[in-house]
Amino acid sequence: MSPHLTTCLAIVDGNDGWLLDAGPDLPRHVGRLSERGITLAGILLTHAHIGHYTGLAMLGREAMDVADMPVWAAPRMAAFLQSNGPWDQLVKAGNISLRSVENSVHLSPRLSAVAFPVPHRDEYSETVGIRIAGPSASLLYVPDTDGWDGWETSIEEHLGNVDIAFLDGTFFSGDELPGRDMTAIAHPSVTDSLRRFSALPPAERAKVHFTHLNHTNPLLRGDSDEYMRVVRSGLAIADEGQIVML
Question: What is the domain-level CATH number for residue 140?
Answer: 3.60.15.10
In a domain, 245, yes or no: no
Mean of pLDDT values over 208-224: 91
Residue 161 is assigned to a structural domain of this protein: yes
Asked if the model's pLDDT at residue 4 lies above 50, the reply is no
Residue 104 lies in a domain: yes
Could you read off the pLDDT of 113-166 as tens digits, one per residue? 999 999 988 889 999 999 999 999 999 999 999 889 989 999 999 999 999 999
Tally of structural domains, the chain: 1
Q: What is the rounded CA–CA span in Å between residue 53 and residue 44? A: 10
Percentage of the chain exceeding pLDDT 70: 93
Question: How would residue 242 be classed by pLDDT, with cut points 50, 70 and 90?
Answer: confident
Q: Tell me which residue range forms the domain holding 58.
A: 5-237
Q: Provide Rg for the chain, Cα atoms.
A: 17
| Sign of CA pseudo-dihedral 22, 24, 30, 33 | negative
Contact 138, 111 (CB under 8 A): no
Instruction: Specify if 12 maps to a domain.
Output: yes
Q: Tell me which of 231 and 8 has the higher pLDDT.
A: 231
Question: Residue 225 falls within a domain, yes or no?
Answer: yes
Q: Residue 1 — very low, low, confident or very high, per pLDDT cuts 50/70/90? A: very low
- Domain assignment present for 244: no
User: Residue 182 has what pLDDT?
Assistant: 59
The model's pTM: 0.92
